[in-house]
Amino acid sequence: AASVDEITLQHPISIEDDVTLEGAVVWTGSSSMDIQVTLTQPRFSSPSLKGIFSFVNLDPATRKAAPVKPVEVPAPGSAARATYDERQALADDRKHARQAAAAAGPNASSVTKEARSFMAPLLAEYRRAVELPALSAASGGAIPMPSTALQNTFVCQPQQRNMHGRIFGGFLMRRAYELAFATTYTFGGGRPAFVKCDEITFKKPVDVGDLLRFRSRVTHTVPEKGLLCVEVEATVAKPE
């Protein structure tokens, strides 16, 4: 998988019920495809879990992107067509973003004007928390983001390989989720409930024997709704 765009939990999953997993190709590009996976339970009429996985077709000899056969475009007005159009629009946006980044050069900022406006008051509150922690704590202010961080480090083992001899992406996702769960637990002071997973991007392969380090931190909170977002990043450490 090149990336996981979204995983949404819509109903609690019971270990006592049978579940049905279904996967379907919902969009194709020149060398990539999006696969939608749904998990359903008999007690609910709608899917309990839904996810979108993006894959790139690789030539087995060159390991470079290779063309894929296009999927038939669904009929207008159908749910499948709505999903197809949504994925096509996202692919177009990403293509334009890559072109804009390439034209702007390596030193250009990728932060949009809207993002800067959103972050400005958060950064101001963060600076107050760092520079004047007593005042921030007394007024119920922000908690510095670095103080929410957790990490774990381990050596990747052979039993975690996929069919290509690399570390299985699902194993990395599980370890990232476990660290995000622990970060939420320690930050919130109570056992959390998973709601949604945003984009997951696999940038480089991980090999057996690599020293892998996961780092997490709370990046955003919505206190009135009891929600928070946790970012997890995995890097291969090379002490040598």
222 shares its domain with 176? yes
Contact 208, 167 (CB under 8 A): yes
pLDDT for 188: 86
Q: Which amino acid is at 31?
A: S
Specify the number of domains making up the chain.
Answer: 3
Q: What is the SS3 assignment for 47?
A: coil
The C-alpha atoms of residue 240 and residue 224 are separated, in whole angstroms, by 47
Is the model's pTM score more than 0.75?
no
Residues 85 and 159: their CA atoms lie apart, in Å, by 39
Domain of residue 214 covers 144-240
Q: Which of 171, 154, 173 is CA-nearest to residue 3?
A: 173
What mean pLDDT do residues 183-200 have? Answer: 90
184 pLDDT above the threshold of 90:
yes
pLDDT tens across 28-41, in order? 999 999 999 999 99
Mark whether 123 and 58 lie in a shared domain. Answer: no
Dmax of the chain from CA atoms?
Answer: 62
pLDDT at 179 over 90: yes
Residues 1 and 101 in one domain: yes
Question: Which candidate, 240, 162, 150, 149, places its Cα nearest to that of 206?
Answer: 162
Q: Are residues 168 and 95 in the same domain?
A: no
pLDDT digits (tens, 9 = 90+) for 192-228: 999 999 889 898 999 999 999 999 999 999 888 989 9
The confidence band for 129, taking pLDDT boundaries of 50, 70 and 90, is low
Query: Are both 50 and 132 inside the same structural domain?
Result: no
Say whether both 160 and 232 belong to one domain. Answer: yes
CA distances from 210 to 38, 154, 203, 215, 217 (A): 33, 8, 15, 16, 23
Q: Are residues 96 and 134 in the same domain?
A: no
Q: Cα separation of 18 and 186, whole Å?
A: 33
116 shares a domain with 87 = no
Residue 137: which region, alpha, beta or left (left: phi > 0; alpha: psi -120 to 50)?
alpha
Is the domain of 92 the same as that of 187? no
Question: 164 and 210 share a domain?
Answer: yes
Q: Provide the token pair at 129.
A: 């928390």
- Continuous segment of H or E residues that includes residue 174: helix 169-188
Of 23, 34, 31, 32, residue with least CA distance to 85: 34
Same domain, 19 and 97: yes
61-107 residue pLDDT tens: 888 889 999 999 999 999 899 999 999 998 888 888 778 877 777 66
Find the CATH number of the domain harbouring 5. Answer: 3.10.129.10
* More reliable by pLDDT, 124 or 184: 184
- Averaged pLDDT for residues 154-183: 93
When pLDDT is averaged across residues 112-137 and rounded to a whole number, the result is 69
Residue 6 identity: E
Residues 206 and 121 in one domain: no
Structure tokens at 167: 């570390």
